Amino acid sequence: MGRCRVGSRRGCRVYAPNPPELLDAIISPSDTANVVVGKLTDYFAAGTSLVWLVYPVYRQVEAHMPGQKTLIFTESGTLEASDLLPGFGCKVTQSLQ
């Protein structure tokens, strides 16, 4: 059996064999803290190494990695994932468009 959840929160958990190492998720104003934490828990349980939570309303992005402090990037920042994508960089403003 693989690792990435498919289906609803109420359904059984089925996991795909190759979860993404890097995932970005746009967070809606209607998403509660419990929903966001639940998403992060699912992503990390599936094997994802880095999650960028994009908050368009607040014009910022949070970078989450298992067991590490959350990094917050504002519009003037640049997102990087040097361990996963050497040389990659994306301005936060690009992720908010």
pTM here? 0.79
Residue-wise burial string across 29-42, b where 16 or more C-beta atoms lie within 10 A, e elsewhere: eeeeeeebeebbeb
> Dihedrals φ, ψ of 39, to 5°?
-65, -45
Residues 83, 87, 88, 91, CA torsion sign = positive
Residue found under tokens 């999650």 = 51
Q: How confident is the model at residue 4 (pLDDT cuts 50, 70, 90)?
A: very low
Residues 80, 83, 87, 88, CA torsion sign = negative
Tens-digit pLDDT profile for residues 64-89? 999 999 999 999 999 988 888 888 89
Question: Which residue type sits at 51?
Answer: V
Average pLDDT over residues 21-43: 91
